[in-house]
Amino acid sequence: MPAKDFREVLRVIRADETRIYGIRIGDGGAELWRISEAPGEPAQSIKECGLAGPDEASDFLEEVRRTLKAGGWQEV
pLDDT at 30 over 90: no
Split into its structural domains, the chain has a count of 1
Quick one: pLDDT band at residue 9, thresholds 50, 70, 90?
A: very high
Cα distance between residue 28 and residue 30, in whole Å: 7
Q: What are phi and psi of 65, to 5 degrees?
A: -55, -50
Between 70 and 4, residue with greater pLDDT: 70
What range defines the domain where residue 47 resides? Answer: 3-75
Contact (Cβ atoms closer than 8 angstroms) between residue 51 and residue 32: yes
What pLDDT does residue 57 have?
80
Quick one: pLDDT band at residue 4, thresholds 50, 70, 90?
A: low
* Strand ranges in the chain using DSSP code E only, listed in sequence order: 6-14, 17-26, 29-37, 44-51, 74-75
For the segment 53-64, what is each residue's pLDDT rounded down to a tens digit? 777 888 888 999
Quick one: pLDDT band at residue 34, thresholds 50, 70, 90?
A: very high
Cα distance between residue 74 and residue 63, in whole Å: 15
